[in-house]
Chain A
Amino acid sequence: SYDLTQPASLSVSPGQTASIFCSGDRLGDKFVSWYQQKPGQSPVLVIYQDTKRPSGIPERFSGSRYGSTATLTVSETQAMDEADYYCQVWDSTSAVVFGGGTKLTVL
């Protein structure tokens, strides 16, 4: 089965930049999406197709991909950005795969 690897946690200070990585074999062959999930809430799409931002998502959220690693970058991090973040792809068998999630703490 296909696996996506994310760091379990990341801490940043307000105003700093948070970079959340997601790695997987041949990730370059796939589009990566990112979701934000705050405690007690449903996931929200923040980045799709590696770099695109849905309407209503602040510009400080951006995505990139280089080789087998995708990155979600949160610039000028605010307290409201504290959440779990998940990367997601479709694998070759038409199954959906989520990364294990990264808990972003804004101290």
Chain B
Amino acid sequence: NAGVTQTPKFQVLKTGQSMTLQCAQDMNHNSMYWYRQDPGMGLRLIYYSASEGTTDKGEVPNGYNVSRLNKREFSLRLESAAPSQTSVYFCASSEDTGVKGNQPQHFGDGTRLSIL
């Protein structure tokens, strides 16, 4: 049972470089999410996709773009990386709110990203 798979697990970038974080889920969930986790803070929502074909901004979207490639895959792109984007990034998926409001989010193992 793979659940939510994120790649890569670790990445070091130089300021100004671009990269895409990949996320795939095999639970047939409609909703997917990208969070960042910084020291001393909880997870903060970057972008989410309530269903295939839709994406929306979360709490901290600046500097990021997302693509919901299909129902399984939701990628996060940093176009021009900045040191402030050094963080641990988590992808998650869940059932729809319309199905059951008590459905938890299922998380990937995270991507540790350092920007020099």
Does chain A bind chain B? no
